Amino acid sequence: MSRAAVFLDRDGVLCQSTVIDGKPYAVRRVEDFRLLPGTVRAVEALRHAGFAIVVVTNQPDIGNGLVSRDVVEQMHRRLRQRIRPDAIELCPHRQDEGCACRKPKPGMLHAAAQRLGIDLSASFMVGDRWNDIVAGRQAGVYTVLIDRGYREGIAVDPDWVAHSLPAATAHILARGTVPGSVG
């Protein structure tokens, strides 16, 4: 039996990013890893509505040697304790490796969908950068951009724009589990 999911980017959606000159960067120390306000309640509301919760995150700092996989796993243990996702999909590769999992490719979404029995056509992708939206589009899910005011363009228009995860959650819950059913 398949079910709908909400795919959530990690940095800038669930937890704080470091923004330098209008560009976001993942934190590199466990002590700097902090959930954004309203994250726990928003994720609980999505779970209560019946959605699978899947974190999909590019972490090129691992491949670039800037942070150890162990440090990232410590951050993910905190995520598992606080928001209890059904899965955390991680791409540890450098930007230039050409892997199939790194967003904007939809590999992490497809892998989670196959493993967890997710109906992509009834699912959502919430991200704060263009690569999240492109990955969601390529996977066939409804896309929500959390606009953080970064100085980077958006390669494709999202289906919806919000300014926080709680606002994105309210929109998703208002739409229901099947994109296009409520508008």
Task: Indicate which residues carry an active-site annotation.
Answer: 9, 11
130-139 helix and 107-116 helix, angle to the nearest 10 degrees: 50
Other beta carbons within 10 angstroms of residue 34's beta carbon come to 12
Identify the CA nearest to 69 among candidates 37, 93, 35: 93
What is the spatial distance between Cα 88 and Cα 1, in angstroms, rounded to a whole number?
Answer: 21
**Where in 16-68 does DSSP place strands (E)?**
18-20, 23-25, 52-58
Which two structure tokens, joined as six digits, stand for 61?
A: 């700092």
CA 24 to each of CA 46, 137, 160, 168: distance values in angstroms, whole numbers, following the listed order? 26, 22, 21, 19
